[in-house]
Amino acid sequence: MAYLSARATLEGWVSNVKPVGGIVFIEVINSLDLKATTVVVKRSENEELWLRSKELKLGSPVRIRGRIPVKIVSKLGREVHAEEIEVLGEPIDVMPIDPSGKTKALLDTILSYRYVALRLPSQRAIFRVRAKMVSVIRRFFEENEFLEVHTPKICGAGAEGGATLFTLDYFGRQAFLAQSPQLYKQMLMAGVPRVYEITPYFRAEKFSTTRHLNESWGADAEIGFIRGPEDVMRVLENLVVYVIECLRQEAKEELRILGVDLKVPRKPFKRLSYEEAIEIAKSQGIDISYGEDLGTEAEAKIGEAMAEEGYDAYFITLYPWEIKPFYIMRAEGGLSFSFDLDYKGLELASGGQREHRYEELIKNIKDKGLNPKSFVFYTEAFKYGMPPHGGFGLGIDRLLMKVLGMGNIREVVLFPRDRQRLVP
């Protein structure tokens, strides 16, 4: 048989071993590749290697040296004829997940053994898309002259107050895990016009749904010198479209493996007032009153109505100020300059224009039943010339879940943290 002159070295995990007569076919999942490579060992060429290859255990990490044939006959499209096989470790227990992928694993099993599940092409595809998404988000902000920042995750006060804070003992003082970088990114508006952060959120909410986690990741941005919330919505709209366009071009193979036909949402996104959203939900039989948060059912029904109009992505604006955090600027009639971004019936982001006037901000804090003394570290920044500003927090996990058409947010998080799951 004719071979290419170049030798090949293959490192990876054995996912299948199939002896057929005088040949052993070994499938190896290597590097970060989405396809396995077929390794061929022929008895006629090396009987000792052939005998050893038949005994290889599934899951074994190996280093294989050999040559690539001129004509590749493997259905996988990648083939190496082995001259040397070095076993780098052997499993001492039966693998909890079928490395060939022929037997489907339950989600709970995947979450408990994600490190093994990542040998499956479908699992690798999810997290290659996730890595690409984060890279593209960063690229968007850098191209638009935002400064990347890293704010504290151990804080002396919560961004929104309330009971959704994880508390901890900080050398005898009470501290909290950050709900978001909200207060710090606003403080930075006193010296930097545009900032962003790719960051974890920690929320002690007692939810057990397919869209909530107690530790999640988001992309936060804050923009100074705005003329109104529309300036912020345009940036968020452009970001989401940019991400989806890039994934369509740069993650084609991953999307193909996952069976995803990704569509770019129609621009400009629909602007829908909170009052209009409530009316749509009511018309679809949802029991909801003005002033309530939009729940899962209401969001889904609104999403269906928007889809009928040709909108996958849409903003819900002008929420009542009573149901928004203290830092949101008030609008006339008890409303606020706030918005949510929903995509296919799921809230992905919240944002709006912030209150940048010191006295009004102090009043807001008091009106929410909070103590301004607890926020002095934050409000001090508003004494030295704070420009009008606004921003948003976009849930990366939720965006990826919807982009890939997954039914559970845990599918797109390596080691999810919820009320039941603290390990691995």
Tokens of 247: 């994934």
Q: Is 203 a catalytic residue?
A: yes
Whether residue 227 lies in the annotated active site: no
pLDDT reported for residue 267: 94
Distance CA(325)–CA(319), nearest Å, equals 11
Please pick, among 205, 230, 253, 276, the residue that the annotation labels catalytic.
205
Backbone angles phi, psi at 280, to 5 degrees: -65, -45
The pLDDT, as a whole number, for residue 208 is: 87
Q: Distance (Å, rounded) from C-alpha 271 to C-alpha 238?
A: 15
**Mean pLDDT of the 23-28 span:** 96
Pick the catalytic residue from 78, 194, 211, 354: 211
Q: What is the pLDDT of residue 101?
A: 86
In the prediction, which pLDDT does 151 show? 97
For 146-167, what is the mean pLDDT?
85
Q: pLDDT digit string (tens) for 382-421? A: 999 999 999 999 999 999 999 999 999 999 999 999 999 9
Question: What digits encode the pLDDT tens for the residues 331-381?
Answer: 999 999 999 999 999 999 999 999 999 999 999 999 999 999 999 999 999
Rounded Cα distance between 9 and 22, Å, is 23
CATH class of the region 3-94: mainly beta
Copy the structure tokens of residue 331: 């609008």
Half-sphere exposure of 305 (CA within 13 A, CB side): 20
Domain range 116-412, CATH class:
alpha beta
CATH 2.40.50.140 residue ranges for the chain: 3-94
Which pLDDT score is estimated for 162? 60
Task: Return the exposure string of 230-259: e unless at least 16 CB atoms fall within 10 Å of the residue's CB, then b.
Answer: bebbebbbebbbbbbebbbeebeebbebbe
Which among 119, 389, 398, 410 is annotated as catalytic?
398
Residue 56's identity, in one-letter code, is: L
190 in Cβ contact with 385 (< 8 Å) = yes
DSSP string, 322-385: GGS-TTBPB-GGGBBSEEEEEETTEEEEEEEEB---HHHHHHHHHHTT--GGGGHHHHGGGGS-
- Determine which one of 350, 389, 410, 411 is catalytic: 350
* Residue 1 pLDDT: 45
Q: What pLDDT score was predicted for residue 71? A: 82
Structure confidence at residue 75 as a pLDDT band (50, 70, 90): confident
Rg (CA), the chain: 26
Q: Specify whether the CB–CB gap between 26 and 53 falls below 8 A.
A: yes
Q: What percent of the chain has pLDDT over 70?
A: 98
For residue 84, what are the β-bridge partners? 65
Per-residue pLDDT, 31: 84
Higher-pLDDT residue of 12 and 70 is: 12
Question: Rounded CA gap, 256 and 16, in Å?
Answer: 23
pLDDT band, very low/low/confident/very high, at 236 (cuts 50, 70, 90): very high
Q: Where in the chain is the domain with CATH 3.30.930.10?
A: 116-412
- What pLDDT score does 111 carry? 97
Q: What share of the chain is helix, strand, coil (3-state, %, to 5)?
A: 35, 30, 40
Mean per-residue pLDDT over the chain, rounded: 95
Catalytic residue at 350?
A: yes
- pLDDT band at residue 422, thresholds of 50, 70 and 90? very high
Give the per-residue pLDDT at 156.
87
The catalytically annotated residue of 43, 52, 138, 212 is 212
Catalytic residue, chosen from 81, 124, 130, 203, is 203
Q: CA-to-CA distance for 272 and 339, rounded, in angstroms?
A: 9
Q: Is 275 annotated in the active site? A: no
Are the C-beta atoms of residues 45 and 23 closer than 8 Å to each other? no
**161: closest CA among 381, 389, 378, 371?**
371
Q: What pLDDT, in 10s, does the model give residues 251-307?
A: 999 999 999 999 999 999 999 999 999 999 999 999 999 999 999 999 999 999 999
Angle at Cα 314 formed by Cα 333 and Cα 410, nearest 5°?
115
Q: Find the catalytic residue in 347, 354, 410, 411.
A: 347
C-alpha to C-alpha distances, 53 to 233, 297, 376, nearest whole angstrom? 59, 55, 68
pLDDT, tens digit (0-9, with 9 covering 90-100), for 187-216: 999 999 999 999 999 999 998 899 999 999
| 78 catalytic per annotation | no
DSSP letter, residue 412: G
